[in-house]
């Protein structure tokens, strides 16, 4: 049955409209009244035509009296109160709403539909826009050149199993080539893996490692940056990019990356160690010590962290602490940490324990016969003990390994000076200067010997260079200035 007020179709059994509440069907008593009224009207017409009954007209009036009681039911329900046309006996839908009615019901229905449809429309619009969204390029600072733009790679949200299988096959081949040190083939295979699947994070990361091993640090940084773009939680990419920046001596950038890696994984011991190296190279000794100690706390068997902390202790002249750290390094892995023998030997030497120092230097040479620093330090220890022949032999061995090893020239010059071979000593100090023109101690030693043999002009020139290059706080600067005045 269709409602005459709002036009909504209702069930045949409904008395009130389900949309607007208008009464569309009368109950049995009302219906009977309308039927009686209709019949009465017909009879009234027939009476006017010449016949009729007073009793029947009275029943029509009784039926009409029942109508208000039906309307009161509508009012309690909150439905429309219709206006009755007294002449026609029909009810108009242009009625007013009473106080107990619900005049906002149609509006509430419309609003409910809008609340459902509006979010759905927004979601559809967002998804449509997201697929066409522009991703800006990443800018990475490169040493010695303007900032280079690195276009963000297209990331496949989905990749077919066949493509993923092919990409993994290329990736595995690349790592096989890398282990065989065939870096060119490795780069080709990594490139194929990335071309097959542009979101292959491990392929970018490992290709970056390959570039770093070839000292192509800018390309490595590009690959690590791509990984970070694809996955900001990929800690190895931050760590490896930090290593590349450290190789480029961009210690601040490197430390930021190591810190990012640590934020992702607070137990990342190697990141603490490498950040310590950056702090150490930047002159932040205390921060470096804190980083090394943290790495050791996280990994009590981290040999490299003990080694690095031992180096700082040696420079701070805390020789016993240095010996302890280097001893721990040697116990963890003696063959891989040959430098720990040299550092511990230097600590022993500075404590006057020369025989232990020589034993450590000799062990380092045994493990690595090409370890020039071990020869140099053992030679210095022999010189201190007055064993000049053994000392000269070690310096010559160091120079045979590295003909431009300035410290071997300098220390051999001091040995010649000790045995009064001044000309050879001056020659070695001059060679040390030729290797490193800023080596101010070589100028000082040359000046002293030139003055001793009467070559005052050369002595003055050497002394002047010493004063120019040496730190102002150096204890010899003031004395050398006085000598220059005297020799003139």
In this structure, are residues 315 and 346 in contact, taking their beta carbons and an 8 Å threshold?
A: no
Residue with tokens 């009755």: 84
d(CA 86, CA 103): 26
d(CA 17, CA 33): 21
In this structure, are residues 299 and 279 in contact, taking their beta carbons and an 8 Å threshold?
A: no
Q: DSSP assignment of 78-99, as one string? A: T-EEEEE-TTT--EEEEEEE-T
d(CA 437, CA 427): 15
Residue with tokens 């220890």: 381
Domain 425-488 fold is 1.25.40
93-114: pLDDT as tens digits: 433 344 445 566 667 676 776 6
Neighbours of 175 (CB within 10 A): 17
Phi, then psi, of 130 in degrees rounded to 5: -60, -35
25-66: pLDDT as tens digits: 554 443 333 433 344 444 333 333 444 444 444 444 444 443
- Show the beta-strand stretches assigned E in 129-274: 138-140, 148-150
What pTM value is reported for the model? 0.65
d(CA 273, CA 296): 9
Of 432, 387, 424, the C-alpha closest to 408 is 432
d(CA 23, CA 74): 7
Structure tokens at 379: 């030679």
358-367: pLDDT as tens digits: 999 999 999 9
d(CA 209, CA 215): 10
Report the SS3 class of residue 2.
Answer: strand
User: Which residues, in sequence order, are CB contacts of 120 under 8 Å at separation 6+?
Assistant: none
Please tell me the number of Cα atoms within 13 Å of 487 on its side-chain side. 23
Contacts 24+ apart (CB under 8 A), 205-208: 205/234, 205/236, 205/237, 205/240, 206/171, 206/174, 206/175, 206/178, 207/174, 208/237, 208/240, 208/241, 208/244
d(CA 250, CA 231): 24
d(CA 275, CA 258): 6
Domain made up of 148-424: CATH architecture = Alpha Horseshoe (1.25)
Of 186, 185, 181, 203, the C-alpha closest to 194 is 203
pLDDT tens sequence for the chain (488 residues)? 566 656 656 666 566 665 566 566 554 443 333 433 344 444 333 333 444 444 444 444 444 443 333 333 322 233 333 344 443 344 334 333 444 455 666 676 767 766 666 665 555 444 444 333 322 332 222 223 222 223 333 344 467 999 999 999 999 999 999 999 999 999 999 999 999 999 999 999 999 999 999 999 999 999 999 999 999 999 999 999 999 999 999 999 999 999 999 999 999 999 999 999 999 999 999 999 999 999 999 999 999 999 999 999 999 999 999 999 999 999 998 888 899 999 999 999 999 999 999 999 999 999 999 999 999 999 999 999 999 999 999 999 999 999 999 999 999 999 999 999 999 999 999 999 999 999 999 999 999 999 999 999 999 999 999 999 999 899 999 999 999 998 87
DSSP code for 390: H
Phi, then psi, of 458 in degrees rounded to 5: -65, -35
**Taking the CA atoms of the chain, what radius of gyration do you get in angstroms?**
49
d(CA 424, CA 436): 19
d(CA 140, CA 321): 41
Helix (H) or strand (E) holding 142: none
Report the SS3 class of residue 232.
Answer: coil
């Amino acid at each position: 049955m269709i409602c005459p007020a709002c036009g909504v179709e209702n069930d045949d059994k409904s008395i009130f409209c389900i949309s607007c509440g208008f009464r569309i069907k009368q109950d049995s008593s009302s219906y009977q009244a309308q039927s009686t009224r209709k019949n009465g009207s017909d009879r009234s017409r027939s009476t006017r035509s010449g016949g009729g009954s007073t009793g029947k007209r009275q029943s029509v009036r009784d039926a009409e009296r029942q109508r208000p009681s039906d309307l009161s039911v509508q009012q309690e329900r909150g439905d429309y109160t219709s206006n009755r046309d007294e002449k026609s006996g029909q009810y108009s839908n242009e009625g007013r709403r009473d106080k107990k009615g619900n005049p906002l019901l149609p509006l509430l229905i419309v609003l409910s539909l809008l609340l459902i449809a509006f979010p759905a429309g927004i979601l559809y619009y967002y998804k449509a826009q997201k697929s066409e969204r522009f991703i800006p390029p990443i800018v990475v600072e490169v040493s010695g050149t303007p900032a280079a733009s690195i276009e963000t790679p297209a990331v496949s949200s989905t990749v077919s199993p066949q493509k993923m299988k092919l990409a993994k096959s290329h990736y595995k081949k690349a790592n096989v080539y890398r282990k065989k040190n065939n870096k060119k083939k490795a780069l080709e295979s990594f490139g194929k893996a990335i071309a097959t699947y542009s979101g292959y994070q491990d392929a970018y990361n490992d290709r970056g490692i390959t570039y770093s091993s070839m000292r192509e640090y800018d390309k490595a940084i590009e690959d690590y940056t791509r990984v970070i773009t694809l996955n900001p939680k990929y800690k190895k990419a931050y760590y490896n990019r930090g290593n590349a920046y450290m190789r480029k001596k961009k210690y601040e950038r490197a430390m930021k990356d190591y810190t990012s890696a640590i934020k992702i994984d607070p137990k990342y011991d190697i990141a603490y160690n490498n950040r310590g190296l950056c702090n150490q190279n930047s002159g932040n000794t205390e921060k470096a010590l804190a980083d090394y100690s943290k790495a050791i706390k996280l990994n009590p068997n981290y040999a490299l962290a003990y080694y690095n902390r031992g180096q700082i202790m040696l420079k701070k002249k805390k020789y016993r602490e240095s010996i302890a750290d280097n001893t721990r390094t040697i116990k963890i892995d003696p063959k891989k940490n040959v430098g720990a023998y040299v550092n511990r030997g230097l600590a022993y030497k500075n404590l006057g324990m020369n025989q232990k120092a020589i034993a450590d230097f000799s062990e380092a040479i045994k493990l690595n016969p090409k370890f020039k620093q071990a020869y140099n330090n053992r030679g210095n220890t022999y010189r201190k003990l007055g064993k000049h022949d053994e000392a000269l032999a070690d310096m010559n061995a160091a120079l045979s390994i590295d003909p431009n090893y300035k410290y071997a020239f300098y220390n051999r010059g001091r040995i010649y000076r000790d045995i009064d071979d001044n000309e050879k000593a001056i020659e070695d100090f001059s060679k040390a200067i030729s290797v490193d023109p800023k080596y101010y101690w070589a100028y000082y030693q040359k000046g002293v010997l030139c003055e001793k043999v009467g070559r005052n002009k050369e002595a003055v020139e050497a002394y002047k260079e010493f004063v120019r290059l040496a730190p102002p706080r150096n204890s010899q600067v003031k004395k050398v200035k006085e000598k220059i005045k005297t020799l003139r």
